[in-house]
Amino acid sequence: MQLNITAGSDTPVDDLLSLGQWLQRERELAGAVKEVRSTPTEEELGGAIELLSVVVESGDVLTALVSTLGIWLQHRPRTKLTITRGDQMIEIDTNSVRQLSALLDKVAGPETDPEP
Query: What are 27-80's pLDDT values in tens digits?
Result: 999 899 999 998 877 877 777 899 999 999 988 898 899 889 988 998 887 889
| Stated pTM of the model | 0.82
| pLDDT exceeds 90 at position 101 | no
Query: What are 68-96's pLDDT values in tens digits?
Result: 998 899 888 788 999 999 888 988 887 77
The domains of the chain, with CATH numbers, are 2-40+47-108 (3.30.70)
DSSP per-residue string spanning 12-64? HHHHHHHHHHHHHHSTTTTTTEEEEEPPP-TT-SSPPEEEEEEE--SHHHHHH
Q: How far is CA 60 from CA 88, 91, 116, in A?
A: 21, 22, 35
Res 103: pLDDT: 66
Kindly state the greatest CA–CA separation across the chain: 44
